[in-house]
Amino acid sequence: MGRATALIAGRGALPAHLARALAASGVPFVIAQVEGFEMENPDRLPVETFALERLALLFDLLHERGVSRVVLAGAVTRPRLDPERIDPRTALLLPRILPMLGQGDDAALRAVVALIEEEGVEVVGAGAIAPDLLPAPGVLTEAQPGAADARDAVRAAEIVAALGAADLGQGAVVAQGLCLAVETLPGTDAMLAWVADVAGACRPDPKGARGVFFKAPKPGQDRRVDLPAIGPATVEAAARAGLAGIVIEAGGVLVLDRAETVARADALGLFLWVRPPCGSS
């Protein structure tokens, strides 16, 4: 039996995926869900819900359950804290947390990780729990990227690196060398929906390369937290946007429901390319 693990859960399917992996390995675990950011829970797993205004109570839960390892999994946008709900112990932490909330997602996450580690609990990435979520480099689909797609992927990677340096999004859409959209706070689904509705007419050559959606972590990002993820819904959204395929950075993007994701891509004629990071051999 492995080390007792806590999943600090936000929105999306990732927490349930990790819970299944832990259960299959016989590892005891607890799911602590952030209030207001409910995870997808098709297996009806038991969940403890905590409020960020009472963060100290989460630490009590970790110690009560003998937790020595934590994974942050799922989407949590920066919340509005209710001062009236803050308990005295959590109030002592606020001088460290509040300044970070105004500096961007990376700074806020670093602050949370530091507080957890000070409780003597190790913070690990999702890949440590379910390494199969991080596929090896290669094209996973029947459809293959062409030379124009490869050029668009390079351009998109450059754009995402520049966005990440400013602590913005982790994705971009490029077609025929032109950036059609970048990912911002509304997220991937909103970006791809906009491309589907508006940006299709921006391609200079209607018969040329249809474009790619590229996704990667931010440069210098702590890869234990907030790794980007794709899944079957991402493939469907990319298809609605008229794109040729999806390109993700190897080792930096989680693929949820991989078999179904690849099957959907094959059915829709899209490629899914796990591309080595720029500059790697």
What's the CATH code of the domain at 68? Answer: 3.40.50.20
- Residue 19, pLDDT > 90, answer yes
- Residue 279, pLDDT > 70, answer no
pLDDT at residue number 281: 46
Judge whether 181 lies within some domain: yes
* Tokens encoding 130: 């379910």
**pLDDT, tens digit, 9 for 90 and up, residues 23-78:** 999 999 999 998 888 999 999 999 999 888 888 889 999 999 999 999 998 887 76
Domain boundary residue, one of 82, 111, 131: 131
pLDDT at residue number 4: 94
**Same-domain check for residues 57 and 106:** yes
Judge whether 42 lies within some domain: yes
Taking the C-alpha atoms of residue 241 and residue 279, their distance in angstroms, rounded to an integer, is: 29
Taking the C-alpha atoms of residue 232 and residue 17, their distance in angstroms, rounded to an integer, is: 14
Judge whether 281 lies within some domain: no
Does 233 or 163 have the greater pLDDT score? 233
* Single-letter amino acid code for the residue at 94: L
**Same-domain check for residues 175 and 207:** yes
The answer to whether 232 and 260 have CB atoms below 8 angstroms apart is yes
Judge whether 55 lies within some domain: yes
Start-to-end CA distance of the chain, whole Å, equals 38
Helix pair angle (188-197, 232-240), 10° resolution: 20
**pLDDT tier at 82 (50, 70, 90 boundaries)?**
confident
- Please compute the mean of the pLDDT values over residues 97-124 and round it to a whole number: 74
Conformation bin of residue 197: beta by default, left when phi > 0, alpha when psi is -120 to 50: alpha
pLDDT at residue number 81: 73
**Same-domain check for residues 49 and 164:** no
Q: How many domains does the chain have?
A: 2
**pLDDT, tens digit, 9 for 90 and up, residues 117-143:** 989 999 999 999 999 999 999 999 999
**pLDDT tier at 203 (50, 70, 90 boundaries)?**
confident
Domain boundary residue, one of 104, 131, 158: 131
**Same-domain check for residues 28 and 117:** yes
Judge whether 211 lies within some domain: yes
- Residue 8, pLDDT > 50, answer yes
- The CA radius of gyration of the chain, in Å to the nearest whole number, is 20
**Same-domain check for residues 261 and 211:** yes
Domain residues for the domain of 117 are 5-131
**Same-domain check for residues 84 and 149:** no
- Please compute the mean of the pLDDT values over residues 141-165 and round it to a whole number: 94
Domain boundary residue, one of 131, 153, 174: 131
- Please compute the mean of the pLDDT values over residues 228-235 and round it to a whole number: 95
**Same-domain check for residues 181 and 68:** no
* Tokens encoding 159: 């754009």
Does 228 or 105 have the greater pLDDT score? 228
pLDDT at residue number 87: 86
- Please compute the mean of the pLDDT values over residues 196-212 and round it to a whole number: 86
**pLDDT tier at 243 (50, 70, 90 boundaries)?**
very high
**Same-domain check for residues 70 and 142:** no
Judge whether 280 lies within some domain: no
* Tokens encoding 217: 């972590």
**Same-domain check for residues 225 and 143:** yes
Closest CA to 73 of 6, 8, 23: 8
Report the predicted TM-score, pTM, of the whole model to 2 decimal places. Answer: 0.86
**Same-domain check for residues 243 and 265:** yes
**Same-domain check for residues 74 and 144:** no
- Which is it for the CA torsion 244, 180, 280, 264, positive or negative? negative
> Among the listed ranges 45-49, 84-88, 117-121, 163-167, which one has the minimum average pLDDT value?
163-167
Instruction: Residue 268: give its domain's CATH number.
Output: 3.40.140.80
Q: Where are the alpha helices (DSSP H) in the chain?
A: 14-24, 55-64, 88-91, 94-101, 105-118, 126-129, 147-165, 188-197, 232-240, 258-268
**Same-domain check for residues 98 and 147:** no
The answer to whether 226 and 109 have CB atoms below 8 angstroms apart is yes
